[in-house]
Amino acid sequence: MLAYILKRLALMVPTLVGILLVSFVVIQFVPGGPVEQLISELQNRGAAGEAASGGGSLYRGAAGLDAARLAEIRALYGFDKPAHERFLDLLSRYLRFDLGESYFHHRSVLGLVADKLPVSISLGAWTFLIVYLTCIPLGIAKAVRDGSTFDVATSTVILVGYAIPGFLLGLALLVLFGGGSFWSLFPLRGLVSDNWAELDLLGKVCDYLWHMVLPVTASTVGGFAVMTLLTKASFLEEIRKQYVLTARAKGLGERAVLYRHVFRNAMIPLVTGFPAAFIGIFFTGSLLIETTFSLDGLGLLSYQSVLRRDYPVVLGTLYLYTLLGLLAKLASDLSYVLIDPRIGFEAVDR
């Protein structure tokens, strides 16, 4: 096991370097970078000052900024060095887990991510728990009652929920229950109320849960279909195998067959997906859900960073998400062996 883990960790290094290299090269050709944006802002200010002072401003119109000011701006953002030197410097900093400082927030990237995590963790944790705790029992029930009215009705409901975009459902919930045209039962925005610090412990918990009802509902409804149908398919595949017929022939009851024999084998593909799903839900913020409910999370941070060409945030979060994703994949592969000892590390490696 140790040799396998060390091998996988060693393979993560070229993967991370390759992803960062491709992203860094793409960034070099994207127009409207931070240097261009700052130059445009300075020119607009200069034009406004020239108009206000009747031509007495230092702004020189079509001549733009002088060479010294342009060099100063490029040095400010680190673009005074060749591209390969900047990439090597980025790698050396990332090895020390220094993700740099945002151009626009003027804060460290790690600090920004840490500030946005409460929103993403709140949405991710509740979504993860509700989806898995609901879909696995529902999928088992559908597999046992395959083809029944219950199976058809529940499939219809979850597929309708899957077809509704999360942000559209969120808007409908706000209109219905957020003080729109009908009932004002839940808050419109934010993770907590403005007076949250003044509340006691029970009041803080209730206030937090009160704010989470609508966004969590909007983010979970669409996720029921995939996990439920995957659970059903996995259990149906196991129920139809020969060892189940043998267990029934020996006189075992249906519950004993289902939970003592089928359950463990059918849960392997579901449980091994837990680490990746856990990391993905926690750290992949939903931009539309966050925007709809005015939640300042990682999704909104990533979107704004791309628009502003805030390259330290874009590359830093990409590095962080890629590293977590690779570790989650390693944890998934290890869970195969831990759940089913018949699977060796050689088979997992292939």
Domain limits, the chain? 35-80, 116-349
Instruction: Write the pLDDT tens digit of every residue in 222-261.
Output: 878 888 988 888 888 888 888 888 888 887 787 888 877 7
Instruction: Write the pLDDT tens digit of every residue in 335-350.
Output: 777 776 666 655 555 5
Q: CA distances (Å), 21 to each of 15, 28, 77, 254, in order?
A: 10, 11, 19, 55
| Fold of the domain built from segment(s) 116-349 | MetI-like fold (1.10.3720)
57 confidence band (pLDDT: 50, 70, 90): very low
pTM for the full model? 0.73
Over 60: is that where the pLDDT of 55 sits? Answer: no
The two three-digit tokens of residue 131, written as one number: 């989806």
